[in-house]
Amino acid sequence: AAAEKGGFDWFMRKEIFEQPKAIADTLLGRYSARGELVLDEIRISPETLRRIDKIVIIGCGTAHYAGMVAKYAIEHWVRIPCEVELASEFRYRDPIVNPQTLCVAISQSGETADTLQAIRHAREQGSHVIAICNTNGSTIPRESDAVIYTHAGPEIGVASTKGFTTQLVACYLLGLYLAQIRGMKYGDEIRDVMDELQQLPAKVQELLDHASTVYELAHQLADQEDYIFLGRHVGYPAALEGALKLKEIAYLHSEGFAAGELKHGPIAIINPDMPVFVIVPPQGRDQLHDKVVSNIQEVRARGARTIVLAEQGDEHVVQFADTVIGLPTVSTLLQPVLAVVPLQLFACEVATALGNDVDQPRNLAKSVTVE
Ligand code: G6P
């Protein structure tokens, strides 16, 4: 068994460290020498895709958070309204889906019953379904019109890691592809983003090379029982995913919030010494970065212990951070791929320190095949 884990103590840790390769494999062959995105597997005609007027993204757990990130990217690049919904909620509310709707079902296993029932419902209404999946020949791809496979390799740890980051990459590819066939004026942006995507494996590797900093933090915080994760824009789903990892394998109370919502309620629960992880958007022209920096000040003023994930060299955050985790430079939309890595490592280390079975956490299954 030790050999199967490639010298790691857990499959989950091994899979976290496999992410540079998993991301590179997911990108492989999808960018032509002519600078065009090639997604031959999307067997829905460009004419049909040009008529789409709404996109609905469906998933559960981690896949749902990947979908939340996808919404930001797809709406920005494609300019088609995009909804994200929990698969278990979708069918039962009589959703408005029709032949002009593109349904994107995200599922690592391809067997999640909630997601499967949701796409069946969408197809009954005539909507087109694209699956984003990591498991060849599984049920959800088989019942979809097309599938984009994430090439992460088998994911054994119940808590998804490389599954998530490769889902993000597949979502970016889908968004850029839709932008490309709809002849968007973002031609240059597609090329720039593709270049950035190709650089992600090296940037993730850089974060993994500094795992020991995150492990030390995990040991410093080992006696804490409540954690908060804050983020804004695509940092919000990344915060939710960080909190989910800690719930799943460390069994700790952790909550993710949109940083802008803090003042509308969550700030009331901040206690002195409570660890608050904050994902700071890259420094840019918009005010997003500064707003999140103010949020760090707000929680710090209530005595929280702030762990700040910010772009390397971001001097604005240093004075308000108890710990800074530097993220390699990347554009805002792609930042979750990097931000989530230290959060995965943190959860894995805390769970290990607590003596939990990281690969087989209590009460959870890798793939839930009942509704
Ligand atoms: C289960 C797993 C989660 C996963 C979710 C969706 O609840 O424990 O880790 O995110 O299912 O799984 P899927 O295979 O559809 O991505």
- 137-177, pLDDT tens digit by residue? 999 999 999 999 999 999 999 999 999 999 999 999 999 99
| Cβ burial 75-88 (10 Å sphere, 16+ → b, else e) | ebbbebebbbbbbb
Q: Give the pTM.
A: 0.97
Choose which residue among 88, 108, 363 to substitute to test ligand 1 binding: the one with the highest number of ligand atoms within 8 A of its C-beta: 108
Cβ within 8 Å of residue 354, ≥6 positions away: 222, 250, 251
Cβ–Cβ under 8 Å, residues 60 and 112: yes
Choose which residue among 58, 85, 109, 167 to substitute to test ligand 1 binding: the one with the highest number of ligand atoms within 8 A of its C-beta: 109
Q: What is the mean pLDDT of residues 73-93?
A: 95
Residue with tokens 């910010």: 310
Atom 11 in ligand 1: which residue has the minimum CA distance? Answer: 367
- The enclosing H or E element of 311 equals strand 305-311
Q: 10 Å Cβ neighbour count for 272?
A: 8
| Cβ burial 37-65 (10 Å sphere, 16+ → b, else e) | bebeebeeeeeebeebebbbbbbbbbbbb
Cα(337)–Cα(170) distance, rounded to whole angstroms? 12
CA of 182 to the centre of ligand 1 (A): 32
Q: What is the mean pLDDT of residues 353-359?
A: 96
pLDDT for 16 beyond 70: yes
Would you state the structure tokens that stand for residue 285, as one six-digit string? 């022209």
pLDDT for 358 beyond 90: yes
Cα(242)–Cα(206) distance, rounded to whole angstroms? 19
Cβ–Cβ under 8 Å, residues 118 and 90: yes
pLDDT, position 38:
87
Cα(219)–Cα(45) distance, rounded to whole angstroms? 53
Choose which residue among 366, 369, 370, 371 to substitute to test ligand 1 binding: the one with the highest number of ligand atoms within 8 A of its C-beta: 366
Cα(323)–Cα(306) distance, rounded to whole angstroms? 7
Cα(231)–Cα(235) distance, rounded to whole angstroms? 4
Atom 4 in ligand 1: which residue has the minimum CA distance? Answer: 61
Q: What angle do CA 50, 66, 186 make, to 5 degrees?
A: 40
pLDDT for 187 beyond 70: no
Q: Which residue has the higher pLDDT, 37 or 51?
A: 51
- The enclosing H or E element of 226 equals strand 226-231
Q: What is the mean pLDDT of residues 193-222?
A: 96
Q: What is the mean pLDDT of residues 58-64?
A: 98
Q: What is the mean pLDDT of residues 327-343?
A: 97
Per residue in 97-148, pLDDT (tens digit) is 999 999 999 999 999 999 999 999 999 999 999 999 999 999 999 999 999 9
pLDDT for 34 beyond 90: no
Query: Which residues contact ligand 1 via a Cβ below 6 A?
Result: 60-63, 107-109, 112, 115, 158-160, 364, 366-368
CA of 273 to the centre of ligand 1 (A): 32
Per residue in 289-318, pLDDT (tens digit) is 999 999 999 999 999 999 999 999 999 999
Q: 10 Å Cβ neighbour count for 149?
A: 18
Cβ–Cβ under 8 Å, residues 16 and 162: yes
ipTM over 0.90: yes
Q: What is the mean pLDDT of residues 176-196?
A: 83
Give 69's Cβ-side CA count (13 Å radius): 33
Q: How confident is the model at residue 77 (pLDDT cuts 50, 70, 90)?
A: very high
CA of 55 to the centre of ligand 1 (A): 22
Q: 10 Å Cβ neighbour count for 363?
A: 6
Can you tell me which atom of ligand 1 is nearest the CA of 112?
15
pLDDT, position 36:
82
Cβ–Cβ under 8 Å, residues 349 and 215: yes
pLDDT for 186 beyond 60: no
Average pLDDT over the chain, rounded to an integer: 95
pLDDT, position 233:
97
pLDDT, position 166:
98
CA of 61 to the centre of ligand 1 (A): 5
Per residue in 250-281, pLDDT (tens digit) is 999 999 999 999 999 999 999 999 999 999 99
Active site residue ranges = 366
Nearest to 56 by CA among 102, 92, 116, 115: 102
